[in-house]
């Protein structure tokens, strides 16, 4: 796993989910389907 890339990807995703009109629950569902709920929660906590 490339941790540097992971952190950049999460930063990019955070930017996108902060855009107006984005359904955060839908995005959370995408994370959940891939077992990444904790990552989504980290994004939410860092807001």
**pLDDT value, residue 1:** 67
First-to-last CA distance in the chain?
Answer: 25
| Domains contained in the chain, number | 1
The DSSP call for residue 35 is T
Instruction: Please name which of 43, 45, 20, 19 lies closest in space to residue 31, comparing C-alpha atoms.
Output: 43
| Residue 44 tokens, joined | 């939410």
**pLDDT value, residue 6:** 83
pLDDT in tens, 1-47: 677 888 888 889 999 999 999 999 999 999 999 999 999 999 899 88
CA 44 vs CA 1, 2, 25, 31: distances in Å: 23, 22, 11, 12
**pLDDT value, residue 22:** 95
CA distance 37 to 31: 5
Instruction: Look up the domain containing 30 and give its range.
Output: 3-45
């Amino acid at each position: 796993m490339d941790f540097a890339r992971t952190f950049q990807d999460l930063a990019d995703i955070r930017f996108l989910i902060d855009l107006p009109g984005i359904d955060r629950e839908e995005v959370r569902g995408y994370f959940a389907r891939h077992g990444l709920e904790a990552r989504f929660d980290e994004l939410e906590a860092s807001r």
